Structure 1
Amino acid sequence: MYQALRPSRSEFVPVRHLSYHVRLWGHPSADRPPLVMMHGWMDVAASWQFVVDALAEDRFVVAADWRGFGLTDGGTVDNYWMPDYLADLDWLLDHYAGDTPVDLVGHSMGGNTVMQYAGVRPQRVRRLVNLEGFGMPVLKPEQAPERFGKWIDEIKRLHRGEMALAAYPAVDGVARRLMKTNPRLSQDKADWLAAHWSAARPTAEGEQRWEILGDPAHKIINANLFRVDEMLALYAAIRAPLLAVEASDDSLGRWWKGRYTLDEYHERLKSVPDARIARVEDAGHMLHHDQPAAVARLIEEFTAA
């Protein structure tokens, strides 16, 4: 199994009636701001371990499990809303950074969130790194009736137990699932991640099953339409320099099959006052697993500027 070079320590922080699980590496420094790293959908804070191990310098790194992921409880809700992530992040920065602007990194869903947050609270972000957080395709107003109906139907399916996440008889089944999703992931990293990405739970029959540490309610679609004009207004309010990092595999094209493209994403990034784009070769969407050294180097060089 992968051996962490810089083991994390774990603690829980009260955030808006929730107990937020946070992983910490290093210690606060008067010379360097915290490096705050926020994971993506159906991921956990421990996912950053490989990047942290690849950093050339020791830094105070803060990485939280978003609400309803990992060891952070979800508050018994049956769906999740983007504004809650923004408020949760604000609470976390109150706790770990105070008035100090942070270097803020997000991957995928976490990348989308930190982009929005940097527009809402521009004074709290010193440097901004977005790893494959592309946003969503344009949705039209006439899609609203169908979307609201789908949202209601999916909540009903959740309450009937029809949207449960897969469970596995042993943790190695979780590792195989991770490797199937990401063929570049090595066995040692998959085994390490699986132990943090899932937990053993007893079944009604008295057996143990390894369940993914993610609330199935995260599978419910967002009832609100994605508004590009709102997103661009948030982007325009960002004051921190932005590094938008993409993997060589075009995951955006694979997901949306022409409905939303990298060219459209790049056009949106023009609304950010100070933005640059970097590319990581031989990597897919989970580029922080595929090429952690390259990602760590990009982050260090950008935040040192």
Structure 2
Amino acid sequence: MYQALRPSRSEFVPVRNLRYHVRVWGEPSPRRPPLVLLHGWMDVAASWQFVVDALAEERFIVAPDWRGFGLTDGGGVDNYWLPDYLADLEWLLDHYAGEGDAARPVDLVGHSMGGNVAMHYAGARPERIRRLVNLEGFGMPARQPEEAPARYGQWIDELKRLHRGEMALAGYSAVDGVARRLMKTNPRLTPDKANWLASHWSALQAQADGSERWQILGDAAHKIINANIFRVDETLALYARILAPTLMVEAADDSLHGWWKNRYTLAEFHERLESVPSVRIEQVADAGHMLHHDQPQRVAGLIEQFLAG
């Protein structure tokens, strides 16, 4: 199993009506702002361990488990909304970087969904971000207003399926089954890293029949689609307000083509990035969407070089 070079410690922070789990590395420093790492959909904060280990210098790093993921409870909701992540992040920054006149701008890094949250938050609160790094956070395909009625109907149908127990996440008889699932999703993931991640990505839980199975630490309600159609105009307005120098890091494997074919392309996303006042794009070779697992040394190097300015 992978051996962490810089083990994290767990902290629990009150955030709105939730008890947020946060992984922390290092100690606060007056010389450097906190480095905040935001994980993606169906992932956990521990996913950043390989990048943290690959950093050349130690820093004060905080990485939350988003609501309904990892060790952070979801609060009993039956679906999740992007604005909640923005507000949760604000509470976390108040705790770790001060608030009001005492607030320190942070270095913010997000992967996938976390990258989307980071970009939106940096537009909503531009003064709170010193430098911004987005790893594979592309947003969503453009939608047309006439798609809204069917979208609301699909959202209601999925809520019904969730409450009937039809959207539950799969369980595994052993933790190595979780590791195999991770390697199936990402063929570049090595067994030592997969086994380590599996032990943080899942937990042994009692079942209704009295047995125990390894369950993914993610709320099935995250599978519910967003009721609202994606608004590109709103996203561009947020991008335009970003003050922080921004680094966009993409994997050589074109994730957008794999997900959306010609429905949404990398070229279209790059057009959206033109709204960001100061942005640079880098590509990581021999990597897929989970590029921070595939090439942690390369990703860590890009992040450190960019944050050093």
Is the counterpart of residue 267 in structure 1 residue 271 in structure 2? yes
Is the counterpart of residue 243 in structure 1 residue 247 in structure 2? yes
Aligned counterpart, 1:186: 190
Q: CA deviation at 1:206?
A: 2.1
Q: CA deviation at 1:202?
A: 1.2
Unpaired stretches in structure 2, ≥5 consecutive residues: none
Match of 2:181 among 177, 202, 207: 177
Q: Percent identity?
A: 77
Q: Distance in 2 between matches of 1:202 and 1:112?
A: 34
Match of 1:117 among 99, 117, 121: 121
Q: Distance in 2 between matches of 1:252 and 1:168?
A: 30
Is the counterpart of residue 278 in structure 1 residue 282 in structure 2? yes
Q: Deviations over 1:217-252 (max 9, x none)?
A: 000000001000000000000000000000000011
Q: Deviations over 1:64-106 (max 9, x none)?
A: 0000000000000000000000000000000001110000000
Q: Distance in 1 between matches of 2:209 and 2:263?
A: 45
Q: Distance in 2 between matches of 1:139 and 1:293?
A: 37
Is the counterpart of residue 42 in structure 1 residue 46 in structure 2? no
Q: CA deviation at 1:205?
A: 2.5
Q: How many residues align?
A: 305
| 1:192-207 pair list within 5 angstroms | 192-207=196-211
Q: Letter of the aligned partner of 1:113 in structure 2?
A: V
Q: Report the TM-score, using the length of structure 2 for normalisation.
A: 0.98
Q: Distance in 1 between matches of 2:207 and 2:167?
A: 17
Larger mean CA deviation between 203-212 and 29-38 belongs to: 203-212
3-state DSSP class of the match of 1:243? strand
Q: Distance in 2 between matches of 1:144 and 1:58?
A: 47
3-state DSSP class of the match of 1:104? strand
Q: CA deviation at 1:204?
A: 2.4
Q: Deviations over 1:106-158 (max 9, x none)?
A: 00000000000000000000000000000000000000000000000000000
Q: Distance in 1 between matches of 2:295 and 2:170?
A: 27
Q: Letter of the aligned partner of 1:9 in structure 2?
A: R
3-state DSSP class of the match of 1:20? strand
Is the counterpart of residue 100 in structure 1 residue 104 in structure 2? yes
Quote the RMSD (CA, aligned, Å): 0.4
Q: Deviations over 1:45-79 (max 9, x none)?
A: 00000000000000000000000000000000000
Unpaired stretches in structure 1, ≥5 consecutive residues: none
Is the counterpart of residue 135 in structure 1 residue 131 in structure 2? no
